[in-house]
Amino acid sequence: MTKTAWVFPGQGSQAIGMGMDLLELSYAKDKFAQAEEILGWSVPEICQSEEEKISRTLYTQPSMYVVESILADLMRERGQHPALVAGHSMGEYVALYVAGVFDWSEGLRLVKRRAELMDSAAGGMMAALIGFNREQLEQQIEQTPDVVLANDNSPAQVVISGTPTAVEAVLSQVKAKRVIPLNVSGAFHSPLMAAAASEFQPVLESVTFKPAKVPVLSNVEPIPAVDAAVLKERLSRQMTGSVRWQEISQRLPEEGIERVVEIGPGTVLTGLIKRTCSGLILENISSVADLEGLGVRGEEEDTVTR
C-alpha cells in the first residue's frame, strides 16, 4: 500500500467560491451550520464574498479550517487515511484535528481566536521573495534587527517578516527574481507577534490535547511526533516561530512517504513540495469532483502561502 501524507494549506491559498460545491452534501451543510454557531458568521457567505473580505485574516483562517476539515472528513468516509499529516501555518490546526489531537469544534474555536488576534496585529510587514540568493538573504537578515525568515517554503521561495523599515532594508540589499509584499495586518511568524501569542496562550492551554493517531510534522519543529504535550508545546511557538515548510517537504521521503495529497483550495503546497523533492506522487483535493476522482495528479501553482 502506498504510504500517504496529507497536507493542509494556510492563509494565501483561499479562493472566492471555495467549498461551495460541498453545500450539496448534507454532512457539509451540518458542519457549516455548526461553524456559524461558533463563529457568529456564515462561512459560505464569506466564501462567496469579495476578495477583500475573504482575504481578511479574521475570516480567512476559520473558513479555510472549515472547508479543509470537511474535505478531509469526506476522504475518510471514502476509506482514505494518511500515514502522516502536516499543515502550513493555520493548516497545522487541520492536521492536528485529522490526527485526532482535538475535536473539530475545539479546533475551530482555537482558529477563531488565533485569527482575531492576528487580524488585530499592526505595525508589521511581510514580503515574499522568489528566485534569490539564499546566502545573501540570510546574511542581510542576520545584520538587520527586527526582521526574520518567517516562511521557508522551498529552495526558491521564502517570506520575510518584521517592521516595515527592516523588511524594506533587507529587500533593498537582496536581488530577487520577484518580490511580493503580502497583504497582511502584521508581521506574522515573527517575534513581533509575541503579544498576540501571549494572549492566545491561555486559550490554547484550555484545550485538552490527546495523543495523535498518526505522526504530525509541526511548522516550528519538523520531526514526527504523536505526544500530546509535545504537539501543544510546538503549536504554542507557531505564531512567533518560522514555518519550516522546506524541511517538512524534505522529511516526507525520509519517513517513507510516497504520495502526498494536498487537501484544500489551490495547489500551493504540492507545488512547493515538487520544487523541494522529486519522485513523490502529488495530488490535490479541493472539491467534491476531486473526491470522486481520487488518484488524479494535481498541477502546481505559483502562489505564495503564508
- Residue 88 known to be catalytic: no
Q: Phi/psi at 87 (nearest 5 deg)?
A: -145, 150
Question: Which residues make beta-bridge pairs with 159?
Answer: 128, 151
Residue in 144, 6, 13 with CA at minimum distance from that of residue 80:
6
Active-site entry in 13, 69, 189, 190: 189
Active-site entry in 13, 63, 69, 89: 89
When computed from its CA atoms, the radius of gyration of the chain, rounded to whole angstroms, is: 18
pLDDT at 296: 39
- Considering the chain, what is the average pLDDT of its residues? 94
* pLDDT, tens digit (0-9, with 9 covering 90-100), for 231-248: 999 999 999 999 999 999
Contact 303, 182 (CB under 8 A): no
Residue 5 in 3-state DSSP?
Answer: strand
C-alpha distance from residue 128 to each of 51, 233, 289, 302, 305 (Å): 20, 27, 32, 12, 9
* pLDDT, tens digit (0-9, with 9 covering 90-100), for 123-162: 899 999 999 999 999 999 999 999 999 999 999 999 999 9
Model confidence at 302, pLDDT cuts 50, 70, 90, reads very low
- Which CATH fold topology does 4-121+191-292 show? Malonyl-Coenzyme A Acyl Carrier Protein; domain 2 (3.40.366)
- Residue 218 known to be catalytic: no
Residue in 270, 299, 292 with CA at minimum distance from that of residue 9:
270
Would you state the cell numbers that stand for residue 73, as one nine-digit string?
Answer: 472528513
What's at 17, amino acid-wise?
G
Model confidence at 253, pLDDT cuts 50, 70, 90, reads very high
pLDDT at 16: 96
Domain ranges of the chain: 4-121+191-292, 125-181
**Whole-angstrom Cα distance, residue 89 to residue 273?**
15
**Whole-angstrom Cα distance, residue 239 to residue 236?**
7
Domains 4-121+191-292 and 125-181 share a fold: no
**Per CATH, is 125-181 categorized as 3.40.50.2300?**
no
pLDDT at 297: 36
Residue 303 in 3-state DSSP?
Answer: coil
